[in-house]
Amino acid sequence: MKKRINLPQIEDLPGMSASQLQATHKELFGAEHRIANPQHLRRKIAWHLQAAKGGGIPESARQYAIAVARGTELRSRISDNVSRRQAGDSLEQTVTTTVVQTGDARLPMPGSLIVKKYKTQTVVVKILDNGFEYDGRRFASLSAVAGEITGTRWNGFAFFGLEKAVRHAR
Confidence check: pLDDT of 43 > 70? yes
Residue 127 parent element (H or E): strand 121-128
77-117 pLDDT, tens per residue? 556 666 766 777 765 665 655 555 667 778 888 888 999 99
Q: What is the mean pLDDT of the chain?
A: 79
Task: Say whether pTM exceeds 0.85.
Answer: no
- Euclidean distance between CA atoms 15 and 72, whole angstroms: 40
pLDDT of residue 131: 93
- Euclidean distance between CA atoms 7 and 114, whole angstroms: 51
Domain residue ranges of the chain, discontinuous segments joined by +:
10-53, 59-93, 113-169
Higher pLDDT, 137 or 87: 137
Helical H segments across 30-87, by residue range: 38-53, 59-71, 74-86
| Over residues 32-50, mean pLDDT | 85
Helical H segments across 74-117, by residue range: 74-86
